[in-house]
Structure 1
Amino acid sequence: MSYTGPGFEPPQPRRPRRRVLTVALAALASGGLLGWGVYAAVGGSGKDGTPEGASVSASGPASGATRTPSPSGGSTSPSAGDGGPGATSPSASAPAASGALKGKVVVIDPGHNPGNFRHTSEINRQVDIGTNRKECDTTGTSTDDGYAEAEFTLDVAHRMRTLLEARGATVKLTQDDDRPFGPCIDERARIGNDAQADAVVSLHADGSGTGNRGFHVILPGTVRSGAADTRAIVGPSRDLGERIAGHFVRATGSAPSNYTGGGTGLVTRKDLGGLNLSTVPKVFIECGNMRDSKDAALLTSGAWRQKAARGISDGIVSFLRG
């Protein structure tokens, strides 16, 4: 999914807040390697310097799973041998009996739908996003060898669900490949609103040019137009996004985007219906660029997807625990 459009706003200078996102390029002397560190000054780490919620973990699966081509030229979901979640499970989880997040509701929004390519007329239908009208949904992007964004987002969503349920959260997915197409972007927002979610994260992978690398988190801008009014969620959504960005770097080692966000890993948007129509804290995350071979090698790795799921989940845990 590409994020270039009229609503793009590069990050603006802000007065210092309790939680400040700092991006640092550090030389790792032992290996002579370069690494990025994104840290939340308060709440982003435990007293010992380890990521808060680090116990939210699962064994990192091996990469290199066999994928079979789909009718779209993409591929089916990774097999269990790739560390995938196995059989498809319901879109909503039952609340866990105990855990730090008992009573909390998290909605995960896996971008696009593997069946969208079969329903082009339906997903091209215009829907109201408050500021204007946009297509219901798109097919998303894919790697050069056909690994579809919709397959990637579902896989990471399943991994996140497992991690968050283990902490006691009730987890709901906006779609679980359990419908022919969609849902449309307005319905995706409505699902989170109706669930009265404590946090919503929309999962994506970008389709930018070769050489464009890294992740970025999309934050809602202040919008008050038509059905959209984001004023109440701008602050908490930024907090959520900053924490996710920091934990994502720690878990994956990936750098913030080198092509948007000015190196911060954060981008503010006012033209995304999924954010404009949300009444609960919500962000998007572009986990990497599928059209760059180096990023694609990460996105197609089951082990890396487990790290991505852990990083995003740890950020959510940090946000919900305050």
Structure 2
Amino acid sequence: MSYDESHLSARRRPLSRLTLTLAAAAVVPGAFAGWLIWQATGGSDDGGPAGLPAQGASASASADPSQRPGSSGPEPRPSGPESPSKPASGDDAAPGDARPAPGDGPLAGRTVVIDPGHNPGNFKHTAEINKLVDIGTNRKECDTTGTSGNSGYTEAEFTADVSQRLRTLLRKEGATVKLTHENDRAWGPCVDERAEIGNKAGADAVISIHADGSAAGNRGFHVILPALVKSGGADTSKIVAPSRDLGERIAGNFVRTTGSAPSNYLGGGTGLDVRDDLGGLNLSTVPKVFIECGNMRDTKDIALLTSADWRQKAAQGMADGISSFLNR
């Protein structure tokens, strides 16, 4: 399972292309230019047929990555660093970070929280991450192990790498950037704590980075938006609209920088999916989205996810979308 929680009972609310196109034209005409061109030309010629996502592929994965299901063919190992060195905490500069002087840059004074999906230690702490926490609407697991490619490259490795690349890019724009974790803890944090980190930071934008674990042939990225939820401790009424704006800008720029097509199995070709079952969104009081960058179980998508060059493009697309949202 690639999300921070199980989606076995998720309600899908696919958006029409017409609705999204009109919204894009009104809100972010520049960001969606690449997307509209892709749709006008009939889409990617290497996208697989639409299908249903595999359910529970990683939520019930063994603590040992080598015991996960194999594949029918070889899979590339990641290029570039697979396990990024642990950077400094908070907004202290990490090795290689280049930032403008305080107060400089178009994002000066803005705070962005990046949530790297899952923790590589979750596999060794299944009892802890299976503990139920309150997500407002009900109680769900603290977290999941995340998914992996068929050759063992884990979602947690991928998200840590992309998150650090994204932080560097946003810092260069002058933003204050915080990560929910930096592989500096044995497991977690739980999904409710991840949401609270963004809330306490008073973040102007939060992005939770993931990769999917669906069936082979299911390809492409999708951005998950919060649904309108008012239940228990959850009230997303104030963040639904700005989160949609943030998600649309990230999706459009992700297409432009990576060349990847929107998901062929979720979102009706829009690259957007609305959900009401994710605690990380339900409990957020600041604009927040999830992004599933690709399917780790598809041979073509995993070839992208394991490429350092592509991961840099992915981070750039996210940074451009966030910058566009914060400078709107």
Q: Which residue of 2 aligns with 1:25?
A: 39
CA, structure 1 residues 86+138, in 2 after alignment: closer, same or farther (shift >3 Å)? closer
CA contact (8 A) 1:35 1:255 kept: no
1:210 aligns with 2:216: yes
Secondary structure in 2 matching 1:115: helix
For residue 19 of structure 1, report the CA deviation from its aligned partner: 1.7
Q: Structure 2 regions of 5+ residues with no counterpart?
A: 48-62, 68-76, 93-98
- 2:15 maps to a residue whose letter is P
Q: Is the 8 A contact 1:84 1:302 kept in 2?
A: no
C-alpha RMSD of matched pairs (Å): 2.5
Q: Secondary structure at the match of 2:267?
A: coil
TM-score for the superposition, normalised by structure 2: 0.80
Instruction: Map 1:52-63; keep pairs closer than 5 Å.
Output: none
Higher strand share: 1
For 1:290-309, list aligned pairs within 5 A: 290-309=296-315
Structure 1 residue 4, shift from structure 2 partner: 5.3
The residue number in structure 1 matching 2:9 is 5
Identify which of 232, 251, 254 aligns with 2:257: 251
Aligned to 1:223: 229
Shift of 1:93: 1.2
Aligned equivalent of 2:53: none
AA paired with 2:12? F
Task: Output one character per residue of 1:33-85: Cα deviation in whole Å (capped at 9) or x when no partner.
Answer: 8599xxxxxxxxxxxxxxxxxxxxxxxxxxxxxxxxx96449xxx99x81679
Query: Which structure carries more helix by proportion?
Result: 2
Residue correspondence of structure 1 range 1-322 to structure 2 within 5 A: 1=2, 3=7, 5-11=9-15, 14=19, 16-17=22-23, 18-19=26-27, 23=36, 24-27=38-41, 72-73=65-66, 82=80, 87-94=85-92, 97=102, 98-322=104-328
**Aligned 8 A contact 2:281 2:288 in 1:** yes
Residue type at the aligned position of 1:10: P
Contact 1:141 1:207 in 2 (8 A): yes
Contact 2:10/2:275 (8 A) holds in 1:
no
Deviation, 1:11, is 2.0
C-alpha distance in 1, partners of 2:46/2:10?
32
> Match of 1:159, SS?
helix
8 Å CA contact 1:25, 1:35 repeated in 2: no
Identity of aligned residues (%): 62
Tell me how far 1:8 sits from its aligned partner: 2.3
Give the AA of the match of 1:11.
L
Q: Deviations over 1:122-157 (max 9, x none)?
A: 000000101111000000000000000000000000
CA distance in 2, matches of 1:19, 1:4: 33
Residue 10 of structure 1, CA deviation: 1.7
